[in-house]
Chains A and B, each alone.
Chain A
């Protein structure tokens, strides 16, 4: 069954809530409506379901106007799962789901075999069979949500409206509900759902509509609609839109507004690569001025460093580090208050980064993360291991774990004795002046 909405207007207490909404959803399609809180998603669903009557404009189910159908006629083709569920009495789960058959039953009718079968199928689809005899009031929010989805499915609808169906669900059930909805859509159910999770919308909806201040900002395929610009406009939020190379769907990730310390605690240079630097960079970016090198632009550490605004020394991908890059890197290291060597796998391509550290000749504080693990990530036939040992012998500080590193750097700066690991790490018993002192 197709839904067609033409120039729908709705206002509440004289305030326009929805304006000029025109859209259609085809049989078997899933349309996700996203938008910030208060943008009118729920109101739109209620205008479609007949709970509210639009001030102007028409909602059609196939060729029939929703407002022209009796509640009973309407309930046989369309149903909605609301966001909140408050059940008046201690009905059992099965009793609640059985209510989904009311549209097909007479006033004094008993449950038919067909009713019982549809109820059973719906319970199995929504995975609620195991607690069919429990009271609806004892259930958690997520269990209730599934019960009400089952009730809606037992109703045999051709159009299903869902208002934030995943609100109370943990990730496992979010995906399960989406899977059920997807299956039903493939079988011809038309689905319109309000979602606040942009990633679920991107992954499961055929089309997405962004509602912003009661108007449609954009409607179309997830790739076309869920763009950085649209999301910025509707949600006033900075996001990164990427493509998940495994699922081949786009993903949206928020960019946290970092709390920049008023002044930097010092300059740190990070030797990383192959993803070994991401955690370190994120942990230190808010307190220190960072630089990274030498990395190639294809390295994920490059992207993290760029995102965090770190200074970068780069080299062409798949090429050995050139003298130019080596010198540049060394210059930055010399001007830094400290150098951190991450748990990076070393090969012939990036061995020069270690050599540069050795070259510093302990004029700068060097911190080596988990030096004992070097053997496992040494692809240079022992050269990297040798260099690391040499560094530690000549005064580089071995640090076990990111937390210890952060404590060391910060306590060193403030010159306070808050490094609780100091006694348990005898190798650090004679630390040199830490960064920025």
Chain B
């Protein structure tokens, strides 16, 4: 039986790019206040100067609320999805995601601590998250490296669950400490994951991180392919598996932590999106990772649009939406035995 790869890679990328443009526009148009597409386009193109020369309400909504939110959604979705694709490749296991190894839990704890201490300055949040995430990965990696023996993926994942639970407990404790203050509500909503607090500063901080991280991961996609034939096999292909793994794990930690810092814990994007893209275009990471990045960005913006509109005028945390969509789909994949991919 020949493996079906119905769509050429070029076509997939073309479709993804078109979808991303459409998604971007939709993200600007959809929301509690309906903005006609023609107005949206003209404001975007003419920088929102209305006939009388003053910024209109629409313009303010677009430039101050919708645009940063859509852009943050694209960046966070991209970061989570490409991290997931990389983790699955590293562990040669389609069940891996940025959240195994407790990265997200560690990052949450770090970010929550920063919020608790009321540290101001936009860099503190991702920094705290990164320190927390790196701590979690570091602990697990040290555990795994014991006595030079190879550690099975299952040991790693189990250790990840345990360390994740530990960090979650710390986060809960931080929330408990902040009880009675306004910060507690902030923290709880932040943990549930959402793009509510999107602003231009977040976008400006996150953009270089995501751009840099994604580029590095794509540069290592060749190594990921080689690692698919095992670490020794990769070594015979001229790859230094230990070095590659460390670089990729560090970058994944950076991307995931930054996403968590600005958007809280948004689950399932990093698990589902790489999975679907692998079904569509095969496992070659040189094409899979960029496609996954774009698809993740698209998916998160749509999830956020749903979060904004389902219980209008209130908003749902987007993490609820992704879990609602992602979990059943994932179970379906498991059932369909396509999880073997």
Who on chain B is nearest to A85 by CB? Answer: B229
Alpha-carbon distance A357/B240, docked complex (angstroms): 78
Nearest CB on B from A106, distance (A): 9
Q: Which residues of B contact A65 (CB under 8 A)?
A: none
Q: Which residues of B contact A145 (CB under 8 A)?
A: none
Q: Which residues of A contact B239 (CB under 8 A)?
A: 71-72, 102
Tell yes or no: A49 within 8 A of B by CB.
yes
Tell yes or no: B228 within 8 A of A by CB.
yes
Tell yes or no: A75 within 8 A of B by CB.
yes
Tell yes or no: B278 within 8 A of A by CB.
yes
Q: Residues 168-204 of chain B: 1 if any A CB is under 8 Å from the residue's CB, otherwise 0?
A: 0000000000000000000000000000000000000
Stretch at the interface among A131-139, A184-192, A263-271, A361-369: A131-139
Who on chain A is nearest to B283 by CB? Answer: A89
Q: Which residues of B contact A71 (CB under 8 A)?
A: 235, 238-240
Chain B interface residue number, banded: 20 to 34
Using a Cβ–Cβ cut-off of 8 Å, how many residues does chain A contribute to the interface with B?
41
User: CB distance A155 to B227 under 8 Å?
Assistant: no
Q: Which residues of B contact A78 (CB under 8 A)?
A: 236
Nearest CB on B from A374, distance (A): 57
Tell yes or no: B237 within 8 A of A by CB.
yes
Q: Which residues of B contact A79 (CB under 8 A)?
A: 236-237
User: CB distance B237 to A75 under 8 Å?
Assistant: yes
Q: Which residues of A contact B340 (CB under 8 A)?
A: 90, 137
Tell yes or no: A100 within 8 A of B by CB.
yes
User: CB distance A90 to B2 under 8 Å?
Assistant: no
Q: Which of A82, A91, A100 contacts B232 (CB 8 A)?
A: A82
User: CB distance B3 to A88 under 8 Å?
Assistant: no
**Residue from B92, B218, B226, B233 having most chain A Cβ neighbours under 10 A:** B233
Using A100-B237, A134-B1, A134-B2 as known contacts, say yes or no to A90 and B282 having CB atoms under 8 A apart. yes
Using A85-B229, A92-B3, A105-B222 as known contacts, say yes or no to A50 and B235 having CB atoms under 8 A apart. yes
User: CB distance B3 to A99 under 8 Å?
Assistant: no
Alpha-carbon distance A79/B233, docked complex (angstroms): 9
Alpha-carbon distance A138/B226, docked complex (angstroms): 19
Within 8 A of A (CB), among B64-121: 89, 92-94
User: CB distance B284 to A91 under 8 Å?
Assistant: yes
Tell yes or no: A418 within 8 A of B by CB.
no
Using A71-B238, A72-B238, A76-B238 as known contacts, say yes or no to A133 and B3 having CB atoms under 8 A apart. yes
Alpha-carbon distance A96/B229, docked complex (angstroms): 8
Tell yes or no: A236 within 8 A of B by CB.
no
Q: Which residues of B contact A152 (CB under 8 A)?
A: 236
Q: Which of B2, B92, B235 contacts A51 (CB 8 A)?
A: B235
Q: Which residues of B contact A92 (CB under 8 A)?
A: 3, 282
User: CB distance B278 to A99 under 8 Å?
Assistant: no
Alpha-carbon distance A216/B240, docked complex (angstroms): 31
Q: Which positions in A face B, CB cutoff 8 Å?
A: 46, 49-51, 70-76, 78-80, 82, 85-92, 95-96, 99-100, 102-103, 105, 107-108, 133-135, 137-138, 148, 151-152, 155
Closest 3 CB pairs of A and B: A75-B238, A88-B92, A89-B283
Q: What are 29 A-B contacts defined by CB distance under 8 Å?
A: A49-B236, A50-B235, A73-B238, A74-B238, A79-B236, A79-B237, A80-B236, A82-B230, A85-B229, A85-B233, A87-B228, A87-B229, A88-B93, A88-B228, A88-B229, A89-B92, A89-B341, A90-B283, A90-B340, A91-B282, A91-B283, A92-B3, A95-B283, A95-B284, A96-B229, A99-B229, A99-B237, A102-B225, A137-B340
